[in-house]
Homo-oligomer: A and B are copies of this chain.
Amino acid sequence: MLPKARVVAGEEGDAAGMPDHLVVFTPSGKRGRFPDGISLLQVARTLGVDIDSVCGGRGICGRCQVEPSFGEFAKFATKSDPASLSDLAEGERKFDERRGLQQGRRLSCHMTLQGDVVIDVPASSQVHKQIIVKSAEDRKIEIDPAIRLHYVTVQEPDMHNPTGDFERLAMALEQQWGLSDLECDLRILQRLQKELRDGNWSVTVAVHREHRITAIWPGFHSEAYGIAVDVGSTTIALHLCDLSTGAVVASSGMMNPQIRFGEDLMSRVSYVMMNPGGEVTLTEAVRAGINELIETVCKDADIDPMDILNAVFVGNPIMHHLLLGIDPTELGGAPFALASNTGLTLWATEIDLKSNPDGRVYFLPCIAGHVGADTTAVILSEAPHRQEKITLIVDVGTNAELVLGNNERLLAASSPTGPAFEGAQIACGQRAAAGAIERVRIDRQTKQARYKVIGSDLWSDEDGFEDAIKEFGVTGTCGSGIIEALAEMYLAGILSTDGVIDGSLAGETPYVIPVDRTFAYVMREDETNPIRVYQTDVRAIQLAKAALHAGARLLMDRFGVHTVDQVLLTGAFGSHIDTKYAMILGMIPDCPLDEVKAVGNAAGIGARIALLNKGAREEAEEVIRRVEKVETAVEPDFQQYFVDAMALPHKTDRYPHLSRTISLPEPKKSVLSQEEAGGRPRRRRRRLSGG
């Protein structure tokens, strides 16, 4: 039973009516008068001061540590001195010996009141402590996981009152932790009697959403972990988090083992269509990969996989379905119907997860057939729905997922960019790996390129470059390299506004050479492996960036704006692009350049947020419900926007912010016919997005 508090309203207590001691908690400022001898944890509970405890005031967990402040506190009209508190108790001494009390700290559960006192509650002792999550703007996340541990002492059985062990456990949890109407997994019921007796009637239980007991340990147990998993079509990334501190204690990643059944998503759907039962093979492959990652992070962090009690998964719709064991065939063709667009909570065993079998698994909801739970996670991470400024989020992969909006409206779409941004369909293109050109600068006069490759910090014109790269050589250009190459070619006058390599330069510079009936730009001359940009490469990138830009413009149109306040680039590729060059190329709409940011793996961050804060799951589900889904493929305007977006930004174009920063070229006479530009997209086949 909690004591009744007399909460002090004004600065001064009424001495006559209140003979007891004044307690003030900082930083909350909560205060009240309490009788002599009461425990400080009780005082805190009564005042609603947020102090953590797993052991329920038994001096075991050490989570309720506070720091008494001594001296005169004019602000609180009180004086606090060591005599206001009981001496170090036996329980505190034992805890200090066992696990060490920090200098100046005490266990609030073992310290009693003897006079007026000011008590500081450090952030680490709060249940709902906040952690900062890195995203475009550092976000504070309140730690409030779906699983909580509770240490509890259970009444022994009594023949005269033959309630079951479970019912007595539930009663104890109600009395000691205020948890009512508890349910219990069968596997827990099977172990319950032994654990209660092994723990001499004290056990620690994990409770899911204040409702269902999902794990039990004899005695005191303080380990509870969760995993946040971003299942991309190319890579799987897993973070192991401590559910009480929110800290990432280990991370690991791997290539998605499904790759052997098809590089991109569409080829995996084809695999399923061509091979009856193929979806089972793909499901088993991705689940095995995740279990391998679980093993790795548990080994790295030296924890028991049985202590993994919660998991959050995000991924594009096809990954989402395959991991759940749902045949993704419907996502391979119009109307691209999802099996479900709701968040799902399952048992770990239902997807064969090698964590605690009763651990709960949560899948963030998919938004539409092409816009997955990874995009939901991106929204959770970047929170455009909480901001007034209009944000455009671009997750660039094989397709681009686009989210546009603010706290009033949110729109989402997927745009069929194809894999050009990832280096595919580019003559010298390659995945981002050692030897790939990732940075390019072109001399405006000589037209000669200098570049940097992955694996070396030197520019190609710096001393020692050839030495530094000799182990791997210069093997091609990755996505960011081709974007910078094209943008620099444009700025250096090699590329026209229409995206045509200027053949008239072929006589003037050795870096432009004729190839068949078009021209190519030579980035690196090399007898065995020259790195060149061909006219077809320019076309491929133009098509991709036009699709991206058209998708963004469609959303902006729907939103009713001509410009956005902020552009965030995310995804494995998006976070590596130099935002300036993305804009010079016209991938994204005009925006103040310092408001274009690469935000890293926002989907993974969103998954972590949903893991650490259960309310974020409801928030995501609620936001997703009101997101306006735009299907680019069937929007009549998309085609025209696509054609319009083929050209590169120039002086008369709608790039006021960009024009102010960069000296954009005058438009050059078109060499590319409207027919050619407009004819292509109709024949393009949608490629399903990777993540």
Contacts and interface: CB of A to CB of B under 8 A. Distances in A.
A134 to B, nearest CB: 31
Contacts of A157: 330, 335-337
A160 interface: yes
A633 B369 contact: no
Interface in A88-109: none
Nearest to A168: B337
Contacts of A163: 338, 341
Copies in the complex: 2
Interface in A311-349: 324-327, 329-330, 334-342, 344, 346
A631 interface: yes
A341 B189 CA distance: 11
In which size bucket is the chain A interface?
35 or more
A30 interface: no
Contacts of A367: 162
Given A186-B325, A350-B186, A631-B159, A167 B334 contact: no
A164 B337 contact: yes
A177 interface: no
A605 interface: no
A459 interface: no
Interface stretch (A190-198, A245-253, A473-481, A509-517): A190-198
Nearest to A629: B162
The residue among A159, A334, A368 with the most chain B CB atoms within 10 A of its own CB is A159
A505 interface: no
A336 B629 contact: no
Interface in A560-612: none
Given A163-B341, A166-B342, A167-B341, A335 B158 contact: yes
Given A159-B369, A326-B193, A342 B633 contact: no
A194 B337 CA distance: 12
The residue among A166, A337, A369 with the most chain B CB atoms within 10 A of its own CB is A337
A350 to B, nearest CB: 5
A184 interface: yes
A132 B253 CA distance: 63
Given A159-B336, A335-B158, A324 B166 contact: no
A165 interface: yes
Interface of A: 156-167, 184, 186, 189-190, 192-194, 324-327, 329-330, 334-342, 344, 346, 350, 366-369, 629, 631, 633-634
26 contacts: A157-B335, A158-B335, A159-B631, A159-B634, A160-B629, A160-B631, A162-B341, A162-B367, A162-B629, A162-B631, A163-B341, A164-B342, A165-B330, A165-B339, A165-B340, A166-B340, A166-B342, A167-B341, A186-B325, A189-B339, A189-B344, A190-B326, A190-B327, A190-B339, A193-B330, A193-B337
Given A162-B631, A190-B339, 9 more contacts: A156-B335, A159-B631, A159-B634, A162-B337, A163-B338, A164-B339, A189-B339, A190-B327, A193-B329
The 10 A-B pairs of least Cβ separation, nearest first, read A157-B337, A162-B368, A164-B341, A164-B340, A164-B338, A166-B340, A159-B335, A159-B631, A157-B335, A193-B330
